Structure 1
Amino acid sequence: MSEVLAEPARVPAEARRRRTFAVISHPDAGKSTLTEALALYAEVIDTAGAVHGKAGRRGVTSDWMEMERKRGISITSAVLQFAYRDCVINLLDTPGHGDFSEDTYRVLAAVDAAVMLLDAAKGLEPQTLKLFDVCRSRGIPVLTFVNKWDRPGREALELLDEVEQTIGLRPMPITWPLGIAGELRGLVEVATGEFTRFSRTAGGATRAEAEAVPEAEIAAAEPEFWAAAQDELALLQEIGAGFDEKDFLSGSATPVLFGAALTGVGVRRLLDALVDLAPSPEPRDDADGNPRPLEAPTSGLVFKVQAGMDRAHRDRMAFVRICSGRFERGMVLTHAATGRPFATKYAQAVFGQQRTTVEEAFPGDIVGLVNAGALRPGDTLYSTDPVHFPAIPSFAPEHFAVVRGADSGAFKQFRRGIEQLDSEGVIQVLVSDLRGDQAPVLAAVGPLQFEVVTSRLESEFRAPVTLEHLGYTIARRTDAAGAELLKGQSEVEVLTRRADGVLLAVFSNKWRMETVRRKFEDLVLEPLPAGSVR
């Protein structure tokens, strides 16, 4: 129907069809498995792999880096775009490990909703709390999926109470498990009381069949579980736990669904909930706080830059969230940071590591722009009506190391690799007058980032390196006057961030920082955004 609409009306009509969301969780909650299962039940892939890192197992579509496949964790965010029902789904899989919080933070700048994945046995965990705080600060509505209900775990009501008491979100169950964790018999639709039973497949590799079972039949087959579920549902109704769209969109309540991603239980119901409940794109505030209308000329936010996705071409891709207007492949956009034109001849729709050429895109869509050497995370692109969207801040690093090329004959490759990883935002690269460009300082939120850097430098650039870890644990922004004051102070160093020229004063610990602060009353020390939870 949208194809016959006049052009001014087409953009908001297409935007209403978009659902752009991220899956967030603590490590090992099953996030990448759920991501793959969602694609499986949308029928855009035929079989799914599982993230276990065991020999003979296939890696998930969203985990494409060699290090991800070996370790069985997601290190970078990935995009899966596909159609479901009458909607276009832009699903962003995020790293669960706290060391890669900064990458997840960037992804959350590009989405309209999030699925918070909870392990039925563990409930809310530190990294989940951290990511939810980001969602709350950005006003992102959150759906909750309680995963692994096919394994032993906690009671459903206990998990709901933890969500409400810990993060202040009122749970609104959409489905309810029949059977305790580890003895799942199926799911009850809270609004209607309808019961669905699932047939399992080997390892969840193919879609499980869902069967609607009459109430009398399931009540006779599972009398104890059915009676317990009816009591729990009655309690939920009594306390007013029914779905309220206004509370969901305002961020004060969360729809809750139960299931098991690995065996496919409840996955299609989650997809339907995302289509029916999650918001479509809305006007996005620019850097001055003014909403940019969806039908305004084309604009987009670069939230991620990634190289090495295609080993055959070794190109570099910028992931852009379309914020307004109709994007057309080949159009020339303006790079807001430099004012220079940026051609979009090589525009891709992305599905994990796979790519297809995209001819047009609308608000909410994620477009991959190839050979995007000039772009960095947080950059804005626009067509005719200038706009700057708010920058994506860098986190406060907590780990520091000097990196040096181990092979003097590969110094050019070393420098090129460091520059690329810096521009991608894989790690913060700092320079020091004491060491020079040949020995930059890497600053990380978590130590696993160093592993990614050394692995990629060696595998992609043939530049093996050595790391010398430094004893700094805290960083603060300072100015030129502060840099002068700090010269010669022990357990203190001033470094320049290559990405933006910001001066960072780094200290061995907070007590040393406070001692120096008391010594120099005029010293400027400003906090940076917080890093991962420790």
Structure 2
Amino acid sequence: MKLENEIKKRRTFGIISHPDAGKTTLTEKLLLFGGAIQQAGTVKRSKPGKTATSDFMEIEKQRGISVATSVMGFEYKGKKINILDTPGHKDFAEDTYRTLTAVDSVILVVDCVKGVEEQTEKLMAVCRLRHIPVIIFVNKMDREGKDPFDLLDELEKKLNISTRPLTWPIGIGHTFKGVYHLQAKGLKLYEPVKKGVSENLIAVQDLDDKMLERTLGNNAAQQLRDDVSLLEGLYEPFDLSLYRSGYLAPVFYGSAINNFGIRELLDTFIDIAPPPLERSANERTIKPDEPQFTGFIFKIHANLDPKHRDRIAFCRICSGQFQRNTFYYHTRLQKKLKFASPTSFMADSKSVVDESWPGDVVGLYDAGNFKIGDTLTEGEDLQFLGIPRFSPEIFRLLENTDPMKSKQLDKGINQLIDEGVAQLFFQELGNRKIVGTVGELQFEVIKFRLLHEYGASCAFRSVEYTKASWISSSDPVKLQNFLQQQSRRIAFDKDGNPVFLSSSAWDITYALEKHPDIRLHDNSEWQRQR
């Protein structure tokens, strides 16, 4: 019974957006409304030493961007809320993709001025593929932005999802007066004060109530009536099952930096967002109410505290109860591990937890046992699905610029690769190490962290490769022949799997024509997908 109650209490979600849409600001304001923090920071430093609560890496504080997923939890109205704040920058999209395997729903932040942007579309495509329930928060309504109806059309067209507004803006930019709650039938008036807003809805019997004129003025009151009439004619009533199946996205409006529209979003979220969901493994589907513990590692981060050189593996609890100082089975290594100090997080602060339940994310101190995607159980031999490695888009040769620090460089790059910051490919020919990333900024982060966390300096040199393809064949002899004949283009990933590095699509076509018994795969999951 306790397991069932703990599952019902939990809501685990990710916040995603295009860079600068206000994602990290919204995260902090949710924490503020939930009582988890007393004062929010700002994403970009407005005062010396003041940074976002969820941005704890030194480079994040210097650059004013989020480059790693932050995990935070708090209690709100009897619910345990677990937030995974993700990087918005496209160069760190892989971290976000992995994080989406660990959440049960998503809040998507959209800038009302810029509308749907490139990264928004890519992230939403992953959500649609996994049928993740999505709530949309249209941010920055206090700025001059797109017409709300035009923006709804854009959301549906570009994100390939139906929408249903649950609040509606009254004006926009300099005419923004607040929002009308379509379900609660009440007004929330906008106060442009960052430290506080009106907490209570002004109840309205119906839209013909003359109080609208007294509160909003004649023009705004009539415009609201016209808008709501049009909305009710165009959109079906909100359907919870369609939302939880990932087909319908409720829409809210507000201004995160001014704390406006957050409470309506949070109150509705805890009512409609799903509790922990079942997860697919190679062998079977794992349901959260199963009594036996299972979980998987979706993120690894070294040096959360550079003074202690710690390494934390983030484990999403999928079923049963996780308990401190209990042995659990590491299915890849086929050995049992015990965790004396599992932790919960509030950005860079953490505390030891004695027990955790499905939906929770716990940090496990790691001595190098974990890789992203690893599974923990109480003994059952299974492997959770859905955390593939895709081909990087940019490849660079790693060069050591300080031979006296070779050990530090090797240790540092291996730990960063384990975290999923980038991918590392070894070429036996020339004993070369090639780093692959999604974007250029990742190379800057790697150099920064290697220098500041490991005392190792490096340089990156361009190589001609543009894609990595994982290699397989049903004939071991022909596979070996291919590896020998294509040795200049062959590398091995960190797990020792052979990879074909190509410079163009022609390279792949030519290689397959010459070797018809060889298969080239776009991601590392091909073995599990057979």
Scaled to the shorter chain, the TM-score interval is: over 0.9
In 2, the alpha carbon distance for the partners of 1:284 and 1:224 equals 51
Q: Which residue of 1 aligns with 2:463?
A: 470
Matched, 1:219 2:216: no
Q: Which residue of 2 aligns with 1:283?
A: 278
Matched, 1:117 2:109: yes
Alignment of structure 1 residues 107-506 onto 2, 5 Å:
107-201=99-193, 204=194, 206-213=195-202, 215=204, 216-220=210-214, 221-436=216-431, 439-479=432-472, 481=478, 484-485=481-482, 493-498=489-494, 500-506=495-501
Please state how far the C-alpha of 1:289 moved relative to its aligned partner.
3.8
In 2, the alpha carbon distance for the partners of 1:243 and 1:468 equals 54
Q: Aligned pair count?
A: 515
**Any idea what SS the aligned residue of 2:519 has?**
coil
**Any idea what SS the aligned residue of 2:295 has?**
strand
Show CA shifts across 1:371-413 (max 9, x none): 3520111111112444321151012111111112211111111
Matched, 1:92 2:90: no
Q: Which residue of 1 aligns with 2:62?
A: 70
**Any idea what SS the aligned residue of 2:260 has?**
coil
In 1, the alpha carbon distance for the partners of 2:470 and 2:281 equals 25
Please state how far the C-alpha of 1:331 moved relative to its aligned partner.
1.1
Which amino acid letter does the alignment assign opposite residue 50 of structure 2?
R
Residues 131 and 247, structure 2, Cα contact 8 Å, conserved in 1: no
Please state how far the C-alpha of 1:469 moved relative to its aligned partner.
1.6
Which amino acid letter does the alignment assign opposite residue 229 of structure 1?
L
Q: Structure 2 length normalisation: TM-score?
A: 0.93
Which amino acid letter does the alignment assign opposite residue 64 of structure 2?
G
In 2, the alpha carbon distance for the partners of 1:420 and 1:15 equals 33
Cα distance change of structure 1 residues 504 and 337 upon mapping to structure 2, 3 Å threshold: same
Please state how far the C-alpha of 1:511 moved relative to its aligned partner.
3.2
Residues 283 and 382, structure 2, Cα contact 8 Å, conserved in 1: no
Cα distance change of structure 1 residues 372 and 296 upon mapping to structure 2, 3 Å threshold: farther
Please state how far the C-alpha of 1:508 moved relative to its aligned partner.
1.5
Residues 302 and 378, structure 1, Cα contact 8 Å, conserved in 2: yes
Please state how far the C-alpha of 1:422 moved relative to its aligned partner.
1.7
Residues 95 and 101, structure 1, Cα contact 8 Å, conserved in 2: yes
Q: Structure 1 length normalisation: TM-score?
A: 0.92
Residues 155 and 161, structure 2, Cα contact 8 Å, conserved in 1: yes
Q: Which residue of 1 aligns with 2:207?
A: none
Please state how far the C-alpha of 1:214 moved relative to its aligned partner.
5.7
Cα distance change of structure 1 residues 371 and 290 upon mapping to structure 2, 3 Å threshold: closer
Please state how far the C-alpha of 1:527 moved relative to its aligned partner.
2.0
Cα distance change of structure 1 residues 182 and 384 upon mapping to structure 2, 3 Å threshold: farther
- Gaps of at least 5 residues in structure 1 are 1-8
Please state how far the C-alpha of 1:462 moved relative to its aligned partner.
0.2
**Any idea what SS the aligned residue of 2:150 has?**
helix
Q: Which residue of 1 aligns with 2:528?
A: none
Q: Which residue of 2 aligns with 1:83?
A: 75
In 2, the alpha carbon distance for the partners of 1:60 and 1:165 equals 33
Cα distance change of structure 1 residues 186 and 107 upon mapping to structure 2, 3 Å threshold: same
Residues 347 and 368, structure 1, Cα contact 8 Å, conserved in 2: yes
Which amino acid letter does the alignment assign opposite residue 458 of structure 1?
L
Alignment of structure 1 residues 16-35 onto 2, 5 Å:
16-35=8-27
Show CA shifts across 1:270-321 (max 9, x none): 1112101100013322223423352321111111010111122110001111
In 2, the alpha carbon distance for the partners of 1:379 and 1:361 equals 18
Please state how far the C-alpha of 1:488 moved relative to its aligned partner.
6.4
Cα RMSD over matched residues? 2.0
- Gaps of at least 5 residues in structure 2 are 205-209, 526-530
Which amino acid letter does the alignment assign opposite residue 497 of structure 1?
D
Please state how far the C-alpha of 1:519 moved relative to its aligned partner.
4.2
Q: Comparing 78-87 with 446-455, which one deviates more in the overlay?
A: 446-455
Please state how far the C-alpha of 1:333 moved relative to its aligned partner.
0.8
Cα distance change of structure 1 residues 460 and 293 upon mapping to structure 2, 3 Å threshold: closer
Which amino acid letter does the alignment assign opposite residue 469 of structure 1?
S
Please state how far the C-alpha of 1:119 moved relative to its aligned partner.
0.6
In 1, the alpha carbon distance for the partners of 2:386 and 2:361 equals 18
Please state how far the C-alpha of 1:517 moved relative to its aligned partner.
3.5
Which amino acid letter does the alignment assign opposite residue 494 of structure 1?
I
Which amino acid letter does the alignment assign opposite residue 245 of structure 2?
S
Show CA shifts across 1:85-111 (max 9, x none): 100000000011111111111110000
In 1, the alpha carbon distance for the partners of 2:386 and 2:238 equals 35
In 2, the alpha carbon distance for the partners of 1:70 and 1:222 equals 45
Cα distance change of structure 1 residues 485 and 453 upon mapping to structure 2, 3 Å threshold: same
**Any idea what SS the aligned residue of 2:42 has?**
coil
In 1, the alpha carbon distance for the partners of 2:392 and 2:288 equals 36
Q: Comparing 381-390 with 402-411, which one deviates more in the overlay?
A: 381-390
Alignment of structure 1 residues 14-53 onto 2, 5 Å:
14-53=6-45
Please state how far the C-alpha of 1:482 moved relative to its aligned partner.
5.2
**Any idea what SS the aligned residue of 1:262 has?**
helix
Show CA shifts across 1:50-107 (max 9, x none): 1124553621111011111111111010001111110000000001111111111111
**Any idea what SS the aligned residue of 1:440 has?**
strand
Cα distance change of structure 1 residues 29 and 79 upon mapping to structure 2, 3 Å threshold: same
**Any idea what SS the aligned residue of 1:297 has?**
coil
Residues 149 and 182, structure 1, Cα contact 8 Å, conserved in 2: no
Q: Comparing 67-76 with 53-62, which one deviates more in the overlay?
A: 53-62
Please state how far the C-alpha of 1:33 moved relative to its aligned partner.
0.8
Show CA shifts across 1:2-41 (max 9, x none): xxxxxxx111111100000000111111111111111011
In 1, the alpha carbon distance for the partners of 2:15 and 2:36 equals 18
Which amino acid letter does the alignment assign opposite residue 303 of structure 1?
F
Please state how far the C-alpha of 1:520 moved relative to its aligned partner.
4.0
Cα distance change of structure 1 residues 305 and 489 upon mapping to structure 2, 3 Å threshold: closer
Residues 320 and 366, structure 1, Cα contact 8 Å, conserved in 2: yes
